[in-house]
A and B are shown apart, each in its own frame.
Chain A
Amino acid sequence: MPLITLHNIEKIYKTDGAETKALAGVSFSIEKGEFTALMGQSGSGKSTLLHIIGFLDEQSSGTYSFESKISADYGAKEIARVRNERIGFVFQSFNLLAQTSVLENVKLPLLYSKVKKAEWNERACAAIHAVGLSHRVSHESSKLSGGEKQRTAIARVLVMSPALILADEPTGNLDSASGKAVMDILTTLNKEEGHTIIVITHDTNIARYAHRVLTISDGLIVADTQQ
């Protein structure tokens, strides 16, 4: 049973009357526990695709199913719950709350969850420990290094232990050592915890961590290779 299935997904943006087709009929599915890299040039439609998979955007046509339920059947509250419990995002620019501690940042998804408040600190600390930032728990997020920021962002994902982790160029703003550390964490999460991971990248070195590489060009999947 695939975790996600996309069938003939199209996305059309309309600006000032002009139509831009970001996705021109994308179809594929990803099984539970897969580690997939999504590669492509800038403007090829990678991020649009990731946003649709993460329920941050809606397709113009086609069907998308997450955990065997098509996206149209999800209500607004249910989508919020899926984003909270089932899907975790890692962004290129980290997207941490400035002037807020690592702990508070990691606890952010818990605020919107059904997890009991008494468990928040324990869960957040465990997630921070898992990314090796225990010594930075009460540090202000803006004072961390790039690698530490991204690891905080990964801890923020781990705190809810989602089925699917979507990472949009997670190493794009990092030096190679920090990038490697982040990818090692993602690999461990995939191997040991069984998280399904989709990583957007245009770096072939990063794509090597994945089992499968989907190449997208002009809004279409042009290659689907196992490695």
Chain B
Amino acid sequence: MSPLITLKIAATGLRANKFRSILTILGIVIGITAIMLVMAVGSGANKLILSQVQGIGSNMLVVVPGQEAKGPSQFSMFFIDSLKEPEVKALRSKANVPTAIDVTPWQIVPGSISYKGETFQPTTFGTTEQFAEVMSLNPIDGRFFTEDEVQNRANVAVIGTNVKEELFGSATALEEKVKIKGTLFRVVGILPQKGNMLFFNVDDLVAIPYTSAETYLTGKSYFNEIIVRAENESLVDRTVYDISLTLREIHGITNTDKDDFHIHTQKDLVDRIGLITGIMTALLSSIAAISLIVGGIGIMNIMLVSVTERTREIGLRKAVGATDGNIMGQFLLEAMLLTGIGGILGVLGGALLSFATSLVLSKMLNISWEFTFPLNAALLGIGVSS
């Protein structure tokens, strides 16, 4: 019997059981659409986070006080004051770290900001004039504070758009005096609207000279992080090495296990975030995969019921001359047609829904959510279903 005739027989079989065929196809479509949607959203989220991390430069590295926490008992808080001004100075010295373009420390200043009775809870950083350049945050209005202002402990502040909106509304904020923990600071610049960046929201940010923060607000002379930019990506490892040597020398550390600092490179960060989003995607995918498997078992069940239910038809076909192979071919082809049609519709549905989701997320969250066609999910879905 020619394959075309077998196909015709199988198609007739499916047409004769329209409702059951449609329900079976629907099961496959939902399973594949679900797994594709989940994987598309997962990979979209992954790309978004990675693009944010990569947005701050692949030549960037971050020096953090304390040892890297490898568990709750080793929390890095123990060595929180190991990075201070002398360390920043030492790292800035070309003799110590020749490949560093700039070295920007910052410390967190807890507390609120207020202006004429309006109060806002911002993220306040005491930092240097290089912060704007390192983080690609050029003020849309006014300017960032200068090196002189840092050295002179000037009471100047650069604020994010949310801070400006909350305190000033539509009125101009430049040159106005805001109060941070009782001390007046003059607003000299407004940062662009950027939303979340790494671990803080730029729009909620207040940046002031770290010298001023130390002197008037926190009284602490140590930093939460030092951001170092290497000349280029290929020099990151060399820079990490030089920084480690310099800090160990200053702190008199001979045993590297007793380092009172650790260094994150952007690659570390990308790897970590990749791991986290990978785990999330795997988790979601496994849920979607379960739905696919359940769907698959559903199809098996329907095919089994179909074979049992259709013994009369099988008997008739054998009576008019069908061989066992013909019958087997017919039922296999019917199943393949069901999964094939379901698979194609599912992939189309999954791609369409993923695309729609990427549009909706981009619009709603005001982010550039990239649509990715989850090819592996499509293949996985079709593979499992067939």
Contacts and interface: CB of A to CB of B under 8 A. Distances in A.
Contact of B318 (A56, A98, A117): A56
A77 B323 contact: yes
A2 B332 CA distance: 41
Most B CB contacts (10 A, CB to CB) among A99, A108, A113, A156 go to A108
Contacts of B181: none
Interface stretch (A5-13, A81-89, A215-223): A81-89
Interface in B301-337: 312-313, 315-324, 326
B16 A83 contact: no
Q: Tell me if B's interface is mostly helix, strand, loop or mixed.
A: helix
Interface string A99-112: 11000100011011
B251 interface: no
A3 B75 CA distance: 96
B321 A109 contact: yes
Interface residues of A, number: 25
A7 to B, nearest CB: 24
Interface string B356-376: 000000000000000000000
A147 interface: no
A83 B12 contact: no
B9 interface: yes
A89 B18 CA distance: 28
Given A83-B319, A89-B319, A112 B16 contact: no
Interface of A: 54, 56, 76-77, 80-81, 83-85, 89, 91, 95, 97-100, 104, 108-109, 111-113, 117, 156, 160
30 contacts: A56-B315, A56-B318, A56-B319, A76-B323, A77-B323, A80-B321, A80-B322, A80-B323, A80-B326, A81-B321, A83-B319, A83-B320, A83-B321, A84-B321, A85-B321, A89-B319, A97-B12, A97-B16, A97-B313, A97-B316, A99-B16, A100-B16, A108-B320, A109-B320, A111-B5, A111-B9, A112-B1, A112-B317, A112-B323, A112-B326
